[in-house]
Amino acid sequence: MGMYFSTFISGIQEFIPGVLRKNIRDVKITRLLDGAILYQTSANIESIKNIRFFNNSFEVIKTFEDPRDIDDMIKECIEDRSIGNEISATIGKSNQGKTFRIITSKENRLISADKKFIDKLESKIMRNGVQVDRSGPDIEFWFLQRRENIGIFMMRLTKHRAYEKVLQKGELRPEISSIMCLLSEPGRADIVIDPFCGYGSIIIERSKIPHHKIIGIDSDRKKIFDLKRKTKGKGIEIYPSNSLDLSRIKSDSIDKIITDPPWGIYEKINSKEFYERMLKEFLRVLRPGGICVILTSQKELTPELAKKLKIKIEGRFDILVSGKKAALFKMRKPQTKDLRVN
């Protein structure tokens, strides 16, 4: 079994163990932290690298209980005779390249470490035929000290591209979209809609999981035009419409709605009126028992309206999206036909 450390969006930790167990085999969770998980598994590295709801994953070489500081952790690694073998095994398995650097981080901030310790550990790592490159290395070794009294020495497995360069303004990060899709209890017979699909982050993520049909709708024709090109051949239906009136969609016909509606921050909308019309329309098109997952900054208004419309909130996760306070709501349309709304 290898040991791994993976990071995810802070605020959803209670949801992570279950989905991790569904994604890879033989998972043994060692520590569940705020926004990170330490676990063992016999799954191969490639399947860990491919988990889409993690921000980043690392292969763990050594853990430290209650370390005094990063320098102490590095010193222990220099003195530990067996760590040389652990490092060669990790480098060998990952096959990531010929250059490396050591990064030191405390409570999510990069910090500097004693240079003489770093030099010594670098020499030890170089015995594996890899060279130091502090600007653009193939391999990154990390020393991490967390506030939960744990220290970790590990090698980075994944590094996504800088999102500010690849994502459009307002486009969701794939990890958030992936979490939203998993929260909706995806099934292979699902008919899924995202009525505010924007640049398509959610529908593209959902298309990677077995489904029957996926529909993306947005009132912005330019976004729809671009998205049709981007998703060509993926079998996703995309069309422009005002989603406060989903008249093209029959009542009780949709299994899942997964969406990120306007938050009322940049757009000129009357949030109360908009959200009420939106939820009423969602309630109409969802089949009884159907699930709706919404990401919004309307953290008070959404539960207030759900209560009024008799939509059951089954889950709520408070998260930050690009530094803004938001919540993920998982709601379910009641099975009963008695859905009289005042």
Q: Which residues contact 108 (CB under 8 A, 6 or more apart)?
A: none
Task: State the minimum distance, in angstroms, from the CB of residue 274 to ligand SAM.
Answer: 7
Q: CA 237, CA 213: separation in Å to the nearest integer?
A: 8
Task: State the minimum distance, in angstroms, from the CB of residue 322 to ligand SAM.
Answer: 11
Closer residue to ligand SAM in complex, CB, 72/220: 220
In single-letter form, the type of residue at position 95 comes to N
Please tell me whether residue 102 binds ligand SAM under the rule CB under 6 A.
no
Tokens of 250: 């029959």
Per-position x/- string for 133-172, each x denoting binding to ligand SAM as judged by CB under 6 A, each - no binding: -------------------------------------xxx
H helices present in 27-172, as ranges: 45-49, 70-79, 83-94, 115-126, 163-166
Please tell me whether residue 216 binds ligand SAM under the rule CB under 6 A.
no
The residue count for binding ligand SAM (CB under 6 A) is 18
Tokens of 275: 């959200």
Please tell me whether residue 190 binds ligand SAM under the rule CB under 6 A.
no
Q: CA 205, CA 207: separation in Å to the nearest integer?
A: 5
Please tell me whether residue 262 binds ligand SAM under the rule CB under 6 A.
yes
Asked whether 261 and 296 are in contact (CB, 8 A), the reply is yes
Task: State the minimum distance, in angstroms, from the CB of residue 273 to ligand SAM.
Answer: 11
Residue from 120, 219, 297, 315 binding ligand SAM (CB under 6 A): 219
Closer residue to ligand SAM in complex, CB, 159/266: 266
Name the 3-class secondary structure at 3. Answer: strand
Stretch touching ligand SAM by CB under 6 A, among 98-106, 142-150, 193-201, 283-291: 193-201
Asked whether 55 and 8 are in contact (CB, 8 A), the reply is yes
Stretch touching ligand SAM by CB under 6 A, among 13-21, 93-101, 206-214, 255-263: 255-263
> To 10 degrees, the CA torsion angle through 298, 304, 306, 312?
110
Tokens of 236: 């996703």
Closer residue to ligand SAM in complex, CB, 89/244: 244
Contact residues for ligand SAM, defined by CB under 6 A: 170-172, 196, 198-199, 201-202, 218-220, 223, 242-244, 260-262
